[in-house]
Structure 1
Amino acid sequence: MDLRVPVTIATVYATCVHIANKSRGPGTPPARFARTQLFKWLVIAHNLFLCLYSAWTCLGMSSSIVGTLIDSFRAQQRSSSGVWRGLCSVNEGIWARGLSYYGFLFYLSKFYEVLDTVIILAKGKRSSVLQTYHHAGAMLSMWAGIRFASPPIWIFVVFNSLIHTLMYLYYTLTGLNIRAPKAVKRALTTAQICQFVFGGSLAFAHLFVYYFDPSISGYTSCLTNSGQTFALFFILLYLAPLTYLFVGFWIESYVLGKPKGKAVEKEKAVKSVE
């Protein structure tokens, strides 16, 4: 959890992608290995693994949240404070009952997901600004949320793992030459944008939450220290440009109708989210 780890990896990643992009353009052939059957099946295995891992994370976190909320709700005589205590308390809420575990693994998965970019580059394509920004920013954002145990991080773990389950399932099927209608692709991109807007808004609302804490016999803020607040604002600042880039991609792909080759290349650059 040393800050130098995500900063170094994100910087090296972005720099390498920038250098690799210079040698790629329209007509750039795939690497020799990328034209083999082994490469194809490795890509399928990669997408399937991330699909299953994301589903496991989503189900595990959902189970932890439901169990925690039910217990907290009953413990505080079915009041709304019990719900918020379950979502906000680091010692007795979802952080202690699963978020610290699933969240940390989810943070580590952001480093593995750079293989998405490696695959794109191996195919002779460029990594878009959206692709590079997303992966580099996700490393730093998840680091901040887990390092400072910021309560709203549960939103991003649950929502993003759900979207990733659907996205990587779609790309697994695509790798198996099972084609989905364009409406499915449009729906997935729309779902990604919705998770940023809704998730970011819900996370921001945590700033104004105060709940009754029996351990101190008084009300306390959901965000109890400057580290938790910093992590929240860092993630929100990361989401703003990411949402803008995704909306731009949605308009270019489904409204303006860019040339097929360029649209397909850019579409593959958004196969993962944060």
Structure 2
Amino acid sequence: MKKNYTKKILLFLTIFVGSSLSYGQVKRLNDPSIVAHNKRMVFESWGDFRPYPKYFLGIQTNFAYATVWGWLAPSRNRDYKDGADIRPLKPTGLEIQRFAELEFQRKEAEKIKLQVDTLYTRNVQDFAHWTSVTVEADPLWLLYYKRMLKPLKEFPDNPQNYIQWQIKEDKTYQNMLANGGIAHLEKELALLKDKYNNSRTLDMPRGKRFLMYHETLIGWRKFVNQLRAFDQKNNLFLDYKKLLTKSRTKLESDWRSNDLAIAQKMMIEYKNKF
């Protein structure tokens, strides 16, 4: 066991030392032509086309230059060397233009997002103001119009007797039914009920909804006053009619009586009043 353990330690040390020596033997390449090319392709400067030419008696003698930039090089290399500055990161380079375009698009996207968010918020607010779903939660409805329009809501849609019409006596109701007063009130009631239902169920601006509430409330007050006026007028008419009938009967009976009977009747009628 000890021998195996010792062998493992020696093997580990051998591998570690060998890797350290091999790492130390790695050479760093520094090719000036590659460095110059990297500078051209990034942003630093355009030019420095290495390798450089060498001349002897006016004749170019650098074979490396001839194969890269000279007469032995492909035509595209010479076009590249003699062409325009195509650095992508120069002030007017393609990459700079793309970055500028991306920044412009980003700002435009932020503006569009802000506009969309504003439109969405406005649409939500408009929906809350327009829809009939939220009418029950409106503060002004809860504080005032709900209480004021409650009698109209609870009033029967199609009243059939004097109790439902809130008239004092049935004979008054029958008289109003005969002279057309009930028919007129039925039309007014139907219009008020229809306006009330529309104000509660249709989608419309909040301001218009409350204008309809107010118009309905004014119409309801006029309807109630009209109903009371009809009731009083018909009661007064029936009282006059009853009085005239009684007076006519009394006059007819008085004409058939003699003076003594009339005097006795008057004495009996007024004996306890004086």
The TM-score normalised by the length of structure 2 is: 0.23
Q: Which has the larger radius of gyration?
A: 2
The TM-score normalised by the length of structure 1 is: 0.23
Higher RCO, Cα 8 Å, sep 6+: 1
